[in-house]
Chains A and B, each alone.
Chain A
Amino acid sequence: MKRCKRHLALATLCLAAAGQVDARYYDEVIDSGYIRIGTYRDFPPYSFEQDNLPAGVDIEVGKRIATALGVKLQVHWIIPDENLGDDLRNHVWKGHYLDKDPDTPLARKTLADVMMRVPYDRDYAYMRESTGELTNEQVVLFGPYQRESWRIAYDSQKIDEVSTVAVFQYHPIGTEVDSLPAFYLTSAFAGRLRKNTHHFPSMPAAFSAMKQGNVDAVMGMRAEVDWQLHQNSDSRYKIGENGFPMMGKQKWDLGMAVKQSYRQLGYAVEEVVDKMVRSGEMEKIYQNYGLTYEKPGLYQVVE
């Protein structure tokens, strides 16, 4: 149990996991009666706890995957490391080096069978080391289910409108520390927005700084900003109409990851998620959380 607690915050779900570790083959998953879905901890609106129960769009998708496979959902909470490569290593193929229990030293490490919210990007998936080796050869990235982008929300009592980011030469704006918006706001336009950029540990913290009048706007991922607006439902806070010139990555797709030896599980999950995107069920999940939904590029091309 102790070992279990280490990575599975949900003690109730933990019971089923005792003695069972490591990511697993499709047959093992089906036989065991549960699937372990990896989602980021404390990351609304994607995955978080609400009234001590897992919630968020990624959890909802995970529930439907489990149902379709005829198994129970078990949530594997992920504490993000410095980059995606670290998260894939720690939670999909190798396990974290701190995941050890002196009482069961021979036990394998806890991994997610499937990890959610993994960017679906061919350039990333087939990236090579300087030595020529594939960087991500241990994992398969598959099943895009959402396209994400950037968004600004602003306080309409402080700023009339945000048609371009130029207004932030004059108005303070908040963002999450060590994120792409933080890079953007402190580097673009020869650093002219740098003075007015305020850094916060998270998007919720940036948004509450706006409510307290410390910043006039916030910049973050579209869904994160939508969620804050939805939670606060105050017409005073509005969505910026601006674009993000000079921003390297304007949009990107999100999918899932499995360990490369468990492709069969990946195919089964992909089938479920693909149906959800095509049938509009995915969009409904996002709408229930008050979020804009945009289909991944793959589906946009088909339409």
Chain B
Amino acid sequence: MSKFGRGTGFAITALVAGMSVAGMSWAGVTDKDILNDQMTTDDVVSNGLGPKGQRFSPLKRVNTDTVKDLRPVWSFSFGGEKQRGQESQPMVKDGVMYVTGSYSRVFAIDVKTGDELWQYDARLPDGIMPCCDVINRGVALFGDLVIFGSLDAKLIALNAKTGKVVWKKKVADYKAGYSLTAAPLLVNGKVITGVSGGEFGVVGKVEAYDAKTGKLVWSRPTVEGHMGYIWKDGKKTENGISGGAPGKTWPGDLWKTGGAAPWLGGTYDPDVNLLFFGTGNPAPWNSHLRPGDNLFSSSRLAISPDTGKIVWHFQTTPNDGWDYDGVNEVVSFDYKANGKTIKAAGTADRNGFFYVLNRENGEFIRGFPFVDEITWAKGLDKNGRPIYSEAHRPGNPAASADGKKGKSIRAVPSFLGGKNWMPVSYSKDSGLFYVPSNEWAMDIWNEPVSYKKGAAYLGAGFTIKSLNEDYIGVLRAIDPKTGEEKWRYKNYAPLWGGVLSTAGNLVFMGNPEGYLMAFDAKSGEMKYKFNTGSGIVGSPITWEMDGEQYISVVSGWGGAVPLWGGEVAKRIKHLNQGGSVWTFKLPES
């Protein structure tokens, strides 16, 4: 695509853009493009700017000196009445941006002009009941396909040029409570996806599909006791029971409805050829009903992309009683210790601990709190297993048998986590992790005055409280080798968007107040901020085109935070909804 002047009228530009996309020689996205994504600065073809999920770019035209001049080039509205949480990370390839909006929508945008090339609206069925807002976290690109997961638990592959459906595959039954919100992961021609699901007795699974055809290649349940399958020449073949056998770490038949949904998707490291997926909390929510570790809930799993077998697992919260999903992203990184290169993986858990693992075998290297207060555990033992503080475990329902409100327990962090879904960034330059975290507690109790579908029920009553008057959100720069916090930025509202670091010594992040902000990666000094008009809960990206560096971020307040009431609600009630992509660059010199 050649460069067109910006003075051209809208209709002409749109037409030309449309023609030029149709007429250009389409290279298509290859496995190699995806693996090299971090170093190829003219595109963004993977979630996390490279499958390792480091969210680091070697671009430095925009840096601590120049960022003050950053200004918007265009803003694109998702339109319609459908303005809810926008948690997407855009992708850019050959002058076209592919980005998802709430309610399972996909947009293709000409990055030069901000003109829409096409829009795809998934037709959602009647009676779909997703648990936590109607968000979507982005697409995967492969060949000439744009692939994403819809709220009714389907994988949909669109033609990148036209937005027309090429294939559509049901991953799970939405009627049984399944959904898809994560960006799919593309590895060696396979689309790898997890599933989302509430408390309806779902069983989590990770699945690989042939990206070209949508045919299922393997399926790996994430709860102990369920059979995995692999398809060989179209034939469904047994591929080993997850965890070897049922009932080893679950009582009764609870493994059949164990939860552990890997709803946030995963990352991939080609060095060790492993997929890393985190799993959600076990069901039912009350841990006293299921004594045992309840594998593989609230865990990180390393899975072979070729065979679909679990190579190692690391459980962050065994017998989880706080809804500390273990879904948070695993970021591969190397560091030197005693002259040796350590192939490590870093992950900041909902439970408030940051873990550094050996990514070859899952061994625990070290762990440390990344939030100011943790009550549910006194610390981690030498294997990284939490040392529980039983006084801070939500109560046994048998204890509220008298029909009175159960004892209230204060647990820190709250179930929304020291860090929730919003991805961290790891800078190769500074060697630091930039972790968007939140300081909040929850009071939780058994609530006997509770009903479900016309029946008496025993729900959990809870309220989320801020630990500090003046802030909940904290962006932290953390040294994974020592656990030392190098700097912090405090934010009034809870942080819910992803982070990007660059070789320009910058860290980019958005906040619910609407600002896209840039910080000095070493000192934490804020160098830039711009209000996008609605809260940012998406993840920024950067790429270069025609010798200029661009930054893009999606704006649109929503996600899980506004769904919960209590004291936190007061801080965010005034925030307005939206739905748009903003793109920035430096003025031409």
Contact = CB atoms under 8 A, between A and B. Distances in A.
A178 B448 contact: no
Given A98-B124, A179-B457, A82 B452 contact: yes
A186 B289 contact: yes
A186 B402 contact: no
Contact of B201 (A81, A121, A178, A187): A178
Contact of A187 (B84, B130, B289, B451): B289
Interface stretch (A190-198, A283-291, A294-302): A190-198
Interface in A176-225: 177-180, 182-183, 186-188, 190-191, 194-199, 201, 221
B396 interface: yes
A83 B459 contact: yes
Given A199-B254, A199-B256, A248-B401, A180 B457 contact: yes
B358 to A, nearest CB: 37
B520 to A, nearest CB: 39
Contact of A124 (B254, B256, B291, B449): B449
Contacts of B128: 98
B397 A187 contact: yes
A197 B448 CA distance: 21
Given A130-B443, A198-B252, A187 B452 contact: no
Contact of B454 (A119, A131, A182, A194): A119
Nearest to B151: A98
Given A102-B121, A177-B201, A183 B126 contact: no
B286 A248 contact: no
B304 interface: no
A25 interface: no
A117 B289 CA distance: 28
Contacts of A190: 398
B304 to A, nearest CB: 31
Given A83-B451, A191-B288, A195-B252, 11 more contacts: A80-B453, A81-B129, A84-B451, A100-B81, A119-B451, A130-B443, A178-B452, A183-B286, A183-B289, A201-B201, A248-B458
B566 interface: yes
Contact of A148 (B397, B401, B454, B459): B454
Contacts of B452: 80, 82-84, 178-179
B319 to A, nearest CB: 13
A129 B462 CA distance: 9
A248 B400 contact: yes
A234 B235 CA distance: 43
B548 to A, nearest CB: 37
B249 to A, nearest CB: 14
9 contacts: A87-B453, A98-B134, A121-B449, A124-B451, A130-B463, A131-B566, A179-B457, A187-B288, A247-B401
B139 to A, nearest CB: 21
Nearest to A119: B451
B244 interface: no
Nearest to B175: A79
A254 interface: yes
A83 B289 contact: no
A62 to B, nearest CB: 14
Nearest to A9: B126
Q: Which of B256, B400, B457 neighbours the largest number of chain A CB atoms within 10 Å of its CB? A: B457
Nearest to B400: A248
B472 interface: no
Given A105-B80, A199-B257, A40 B453 contact: yes
A180 B458 contact: yes
B143 interface: no
B403 A249 contact: yes
Contact of A46 (B127, B253, B454): B454
B252 A197 contact: yes
B565 interface: yes
B124 to A, nearest CB: 7
Given A100-B81, A102-B80, A188 B455 contact: no
Interface string B450-476: 111111111100010000000000000
Contacts of A9: 126
B138 to A, nearest CB: 21
Contact of B284 (A81, A84, A105, A178): A178
Contacts of B284: 178, 182-183, 186
Interface string B516-530: 000000000000000
Interface in B206-260: 251-254, 256-257
Interface string B54-83: 000000000000000000000000001110
B192 interface: no
B199 to A, nearest CB: 6
A175 B429 CA distance: 56
Contacts of A43: 453-454
B200 interface: yes
Contacts of A87: 453
A31 interface: no
B283 interface: yes
Contacts of A148: 454-455
A97 to B, nearest CB: 7
Interface in B254-287: 254, 256-257, 283-284, 286
B454 A183 contact: no
B133 to A, nearest CB: 8
Interface string A106-135: 000000000001110101100101110000
B567 A130 contact: yes
A246 interface: yes
Contact of A79 (B127, B199, B459): B127
A178 B454 contact: no
Contacts of B565: 129, 131
Contacts of B51: none
A119 B80 contact: no
Contact of B81 (A105, A178, A188, A195): A105
B197 interface: no
B198 interface: yes
Contacts of A177: 200-201, 257
A127 B447 CA distance: 11
B448 A248 contact: yes
Nearest to A96: B129
Nearest to A244: B401
Contact of A83 (B257, B288, B448, B450): B450
A236 interface: no
A188 B399 CA distance: 9
A40 B454 contact: yes
Nearest to B569: A131
A6 interface: yes
Nearest to A245: B401
A114 to B, nearest CB: 15
Contacts of A183: 284, 286, 289, 397, 458
Contacts of B566: 129-131
Interface in B21-74: none
A34 to B, nearest CB: 21
A275 interface: no
Interface string A73-98: 00000011111100100000000011
A7 interface: yes
The 3 closest A-B pairs by CB, nearest first: A249-B456, A130-B463, A117-B454
A123 B455 CA distance: 15
B415 to A, nearest CB: 14
